[in-house]
Structure 1
Amino acid sequence: MILRLFFLFLLVYSLIAQGAEPLIRVGMTEGGHEKEHTQVFDETRDALIKKFGKENVSFDLIHVNQLVSKIFSGEVNFFISTTGLSRRLQADGARDLATLTSKRFPDPNLSYGSVFLTRKDSGISSIADMQEKVLVGNRPLGFYGYVVPIGEIARHGYKPKDFFRKKFS
């Protein structure tokens, strides 16, 4: 925890030294966090406020769609979110400063996954067999429930946009 805060303080001090506005604007998604992490979030907010003053820190819970919009518009300069959103935004320049683990998920490299579910009598036994079938996902930009499986289809040489006959989410 101390190491994470040190890096954040160092970054903020460098922004102040460059004459940038010293306001620390942190956006955090509302869901997808382990219960034990909420204490870390509260401690981080409190430490930032103690160090930089309440007038220089905003720490807001934001719906994931609004958070992405606020990141791109520059309304937040740090964000706390799920691994999926963080990874998705790396292509746009986001960089991770810290990763939280939990007793339930101690290794962030082995914590989540995706699966294609098919009926036993569907005749589907490979990715190729799913072509021209119907895809049902939980959210169109859900990282583990949609983006990762679609990436697996692309990794097998298919064009995900044209792979399924229909998509529902």
Structure 2
Amino acid sequence: MSTTWTVTLTKDGRTKISYPAAQVSDDGDRISVRAPWAAEGVRDFGFVRFEPGDVFVEHFWRTRWYAVKEVRTGEGVLKGWYCDVTRPAVVREGGILVDDLDLDLWVSADGKTVLRLDEDEFAESGLATSDPEAAARAVRALDALEEQARSAGGLTALLG
């Protein structure tokens, strides 16, 4: 029996996006869900395009400061992994709540391209002043994701 969740991504206390997702697994710490591209239209980042028909398998942890999203075309071709640095996910009452901390990482399907994203937005967010501990955890999370992405097993080893 499939469990449906509502994933809500917030930033600065406001909802950025909310969408339904089907549960893939839940080991008590990591909950994984599958969802179609939830935004409207195409989002072209230059290094990847997210578009209608794309499917995301999203991995959220209750104890880690990031989420990893495996991105595939509707035909199942892996585009890569989009990683959000977040506060640990809060899972309750049919919902997964994730607070975005601006920092992101993109890893191409072949693992050769690893891009740190939005570090300027993170710096401008003021988190380092308003919540220095959270800011430090966010930077460590991004560093850990990048290190894992560049390791021999890549992000696949993390998600294994």
TM-score (norm 2): 0.24
Q: Which has the higher contact order (CA 8 A, sep 6+)?
A: 1
TM-score computed with the length of structure 1 as normaliser = 0.23
Structure number with the higher helix fraction is 1
Higher strand share: 2
